[in-house]
Chains A and B, each alone.
Chain A
Amino acid sequence: MASSEASRSSPRSRRELEVRNPRQDKYSVLLPTYNERENLPLIVWLLVKSFSESGINYEVIIIDDGSPDGTRDVAEQLEKIYGADRILLRPREKKLGLGTAYIHGMKHATGNYIIIMDADLSHHPKFIPEFIRKQKEGNFDIVSGTRYKGSGGVYGWDLKRKIISRGANFITQILLRPGASDLTGSFRLYRKEVLQKLIEKCVSKGYVFQMEMIVRARQLNYTIGEVPISFVDRVYGESKLGGNEIVSFLKGLLTLFATT
């Protein structure tokens, strides 16, 4: 294996030499939380289960933005239960953006791959081994979960929400042709250096942030693989899709349309 890698002389070969033995690959899950006291223990339990069943080396980095509901206390308990080498609590004083949460988390990440997901149980850790398999299969820079392809789907959405989601996705595909089917999803695996580079470039907030990450990835010629996922809308707590979200989504979409 080593010889076939070394014999290639394309610009990629240098990168491929850096690819480590699968056993040495480590996956850092970044979990930004805000008032997820109920969900955090459950998602961590599911993560530990999924990783240990498939024998993957991992760590979970919890970035709590000063939740008033005691998320931090629960995180500290989880740190004790599972060990401080597996569960790392790296809180911040107050609510700052998602992008800075990822930057903050990555500073403490020791893995060479980063997985980002929501802590509200809408993203199930059982898909992570599939993400990893997909990444290795195509040596992708990014693997994105998709609700819109193959066996992917959603649970807990009414007709109106489905129409808005499918409509927004259709318009986005027509306008941006991004090369990935789920732009607003936030269940993804990145090479660490790729995520670092992308975050430097991205300026948007909210839904548009995830969309901009994929659009910038295409600009920088990063490769993207996709894995169908089932998205189970918030079990505890409220899911939000108001007029404000739609307006800011459209603004963000048009900004990306005009500038990228």
Chain B
Amino acid sequence: NFRAQSSGPHREGELRGPKVVTMTKLAQWLWGLAILGSIWAVLTMGSLGLELPSSYQEVLWPLPAYLLVSAGCYALGIVGYRVATFHDCEDAARELQSQIQEARADLVRKGLRF
């Protein structure tokens, strides 16, 4: 029963558009994997009676493993790239430091006891 969780009695949501029946993200993933998995199983087991050429079979069998590995590489590549290009806000830090000096002086003038 986890797959058809309605968006519930959120009046705000209904006000803005048609009510949508949503699945949890977990359910969406499980459905996706189940569908892909069964397509793969049907093709490799040949249970529909279709005989694929053996060269296709050779590619199909290890396909999930290949996909898994390439997904992992993709993830590492993306995260690595984003770490490498993460902005270091040196200017923002310098600006803040000088504004802190300015703020302290002004606040003392206004009578603040730090």
A154, B13: Cα distance in complex, Å: 35
Contact with B along A225-242 (1 / 0, CB 8 A): 000001110010000000
**Contact for B92 among A81, A170, A174, A230, CB less than 8 A:** A230
Interface residues of A in 148-191 (CB under 8 A from B): 148, 151-157, 159, 162-163, 166-167, 170, 174-177
User: Are A153 and B96 also in contact (CB < 8 A) when A41-B112, A197-B12 are?
Assistant: no
Is B75 part of the contact surface with A, judged by Cβ < 8 Å? yes
B13 contacts which of A38, A219, A257 (Cβ < 8 Å)? Answer: A219
Query: Which of chain A's residues has its CB closest to B8's CB?
Result: A219
- Chain B residues, Cβ within 8 Å of A170: 75, 78-79, 82
Residue ID in chain A nearest B97 by CB atoms:
A235
B51 proximal to A (CB < 8 A): no
A192, CB-defined interface residue at 8 Å = no
Interface check B3, CB cutoff 8 A: no
The A-B contact count (CB < 8 A) is 103
* Segment 61-76 of A: residues with Cβ below 8 Å from B: 74
Q: Which partner residue on chain A sits nearest B92 by CB separation?
A: A230
Question: In the complex, A219→B15 CA distance in Å?
Answer: 13
Interface string of B78-114 (1 = CB under 8 A from A): 1100110011111011001101100110110011111
Q: A81 near B83 (CB under 8 angstroms)? A: no
* Residue B7 is within 8 A (CB to CB) of chain A in the complex: yes
Pair B22/A219 contact, Cβ less than 8 Å? yes
Q: Is the CB of B87 within 8 A of A77?
A: no
Q: Is the CB of B7 within 8 A of A219?
A: yes
Closest to B20 in A: A221
Whole-angstrom CA separation of A221 from B16 in the bound complex: 7
The residues of B that contact A148 with a CB separation of less than 8 Å are: 82
**Which residues from chain B contact A257 at a C-beta distance below 8 Å?**
24-26
Taking a contact as CB atoms under 8 Å apart, the answer to whether B87 and A151 are in contact is: yes
Number of interface residues of A (CB under 8 A): 45
A-side contacts of B15, CB under 8 Å: 11
A121 contacts the other chain (CB 8 A): yes
Residue A19, interface by CB 8 Å:
no
Cβ of B79 and Cβ of A167 under 8 Å apart? yes
Contact between chains at A77 and B113 (CB < 8 Å): yes
- Contact flags A41-78 to B (C-beta < 8 A → 1, else 0): 11001100000000000000000000000000010011
Residue of A nearest to B82 (CB): A166
Q: Is the CB of B89 within 8 A of A46?
A: no
Complex CA gap A175/B26 in Å reads 8
Q: Which residues of B contact A156 (CB under 8 A)?
A: 93
Please tell me if the beta carbons of A152 and B16 are within 8 angstroms of each other in the complex.
Answer: no
Q: Tell whether A235 pairs with B96 under 8 Å between CB atoms, given A170-B78, A170-B79.
A: yes
The interface residues of chain A lying within 8 Å CB-to-CB of B110 are 81
- Nearest chain A CB to B97's CB is how many angstroms away? 8
| CB-CB under 8 A for A45 and B107, given A12-B16, A219-B7, A219-B22 | yes
A positions within 8 Å CB-CB of B: 11-12, 38, 41-42, 45-46, 74, 77-78, 81, 121, 124, 148, 151-157, 159, 162-163, 166-167, 170, 174-177, 197, 219-222, 230-232, 235, 256-260
* 19 additional A-B residue pairs with CB within 8 Å, beyond A155-B93, A232-B92: A41-B107, A42-B103, A77-B112, A78-B112, A124-B92, A148-B82, A151-B87, A154-B89, A166-B79, A170-B79, A170-B82, A175-B25, A220-B10, A220-B12, A230-B92, A232-B89, A258-B24, A258-B25, A260-B24
